[in-house]
């Protein structure tokens, strides 16, 4: 199963990706976490110390040149099947596995911005990510969770065309719902109809009637434990509200499976 997480900036995409990855691993799945955002925060949100973060794919100018600019032109189908194993790092589980379940692992791969790598441009970053996702879909039964950059640009470039499901994250605000609706529309155009809407920091009320907002909806309340924690710590796992979050993640995965 390959899922992407999209939405407006700051709505909680990285947090939801971290919660779902940890829940999946504790439920027995092996999980590849792909940080496709340039802010590089998925590792931190999953409790990984800064010195343990993996080297971003983009910083490997040797690889970018070799794979993307081979023979002097941009190769849109670079062979990248080995990158996950070569560059990803193991991320420890931050909560107890479920009783009687052999937990899977979590591995983090950071794409990084490619604009300055290997004389490249944003199209390089997309070519690399697209090729990577295509190779992972074909090669493995594991779960792949892709934390996308905020906004709709990734979808516009077709990056998410290889994923099986999309988690559209929004805040309870009109601007954020508008972005969510745009994300939903572009994803549907890519043929990605398996979508859910996650309204994060939900405090009640009905979402606006916007076309293309995914029909299947889940809410996550404001988490007091996280509000306290995030003053000093970027880790979003192991909260007082974890049991509640686990139940929500389980329902979202069921809706997308």
Environment class of 72 (CB within 10 Å of its CB; exposed 0-12, middle 13-18, buried 19+):
exposed
**Packed helices 13-26 and 242-256: angle between N→C axes, nearest 10 degrees:** 90
Between CA 212 and CA 134 the distance in angstroms is 26
Asked if 37 is part of the footprint of ligand ATP (rule: CB under 6 A), the reply reads yes
CB closer to ligand ATP, 10 vs 92:
10
- Pairing state between β 89-91 and 106-110: antiparallel
The radius of gyration of the chain's CA atoms, rounded to the nearest angstrom, is 18
Distance CA 32, CA 110 (A): 11
Q: Does 14 participate in binding ligand ATP (rule CB under 6 A)? A: yes
Q: Does 11 bind ligand ATP (CB under 6 A)?
A: yes
Give me the least distance between CB of 44 and Mg ion, in Å please: 10
Q: How many CB atoms lie within 10 A of CB 123?
A: 13
CB of 54 to ligand ATP, least distance (A): 18
Selected range binding Mg ion among 9-17, 60-68, 154-162, 236-244, rule: CB under 5 A: 9-17
One of 222, 233, 244, 251 touching ligand ATP (CB under 6 A): 222
- Taking CB under 6 A as the criterion, the residue among 91, 167, 236, 249 binding ligand ATP is 236
User: What character string, x for contact with ligand ATP (CB under 6 A) and - otherwise, covers 170-209?
Assistant: ------------------------------xx--------
Binding positions for ligand ATP, 106-165, rule CB under 6 A: 150
Of the residues 7, 11, 12, 14, which one makes contact with Mg ion according to CB under 5 A: 14
- Coil, strand or helix at 106: strand
Q: Helices marked H in the chain — which ranges?
A: 13-26, 42-45, 61-68, 83-87, 122-139, 153-156, 174-189, 224-229, 242-256
Under the criterion CB under 6 A, does residue 227 sit at the interface with ligand ATP? yes
Q: Which residues pair with 29 in a beta bridge?
A: none
What is the contact surface with ligand ATP in residues (CB under 6 A)? 9-15, 37, 39, 41, 150, 200-201, 220, 222-223, 226-227, 230, 236
Q: Under the rule (CB under 5 A), what is the footprint of Mg ion?
A: 13-14
């Amino acid at each position: 199963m390959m899922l992407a997480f999209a939405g407006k900036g700051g709505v909680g995409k990285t947090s939801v990706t971290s919660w779902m990855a940890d829940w999946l691993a504790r439920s027995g799945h092996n999980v590849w976490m792909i940080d496709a955002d340039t802010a590089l925060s998925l590792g931190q949100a999953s409790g990984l110390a800064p010195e343990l973060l993996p080297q971003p794919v983009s910083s490997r100018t040797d690889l970018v040149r070799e794979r993307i600019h081979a023979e002097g032109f941009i190769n849109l189908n670079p062979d990248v099947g080995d990158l996950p194993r070569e560059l990803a790092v193991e991320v420890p589980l931050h909560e107890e596995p479920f009783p009687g379940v052999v937990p899977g692992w979590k591995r983090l791969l950071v794409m990084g911005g490619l604009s300055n790598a290997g004389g490249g441009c944003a199209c390089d970053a997309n070519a690399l990510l697209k090729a990577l996702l295509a190779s992972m879909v074909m090669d493995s039964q594991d779960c792949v969770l892709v934390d996308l950059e905020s906004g709709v640009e990734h979808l516009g470039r077709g990056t998410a065309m290889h994923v099986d499901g999309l988690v559209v994250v929004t805040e309870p605000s009109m601007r954020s719902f508008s972005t969510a609706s745009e994300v939903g529309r572009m994803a549907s155009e890519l043929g990605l109809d398996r979508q859910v809407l996650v309204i994060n920091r939900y405090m009640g009320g009905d979402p606006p009637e916007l076309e293309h907002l995914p029909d299947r909806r889940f809410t996550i309340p404001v988490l007091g434990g996280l509000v306290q924690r995030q003053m000093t710590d970027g880790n979003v796992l192991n909260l007082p509200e974890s049991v509640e979050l686990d139940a929500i993640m389980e329902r979202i995965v069921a809706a997308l499976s």
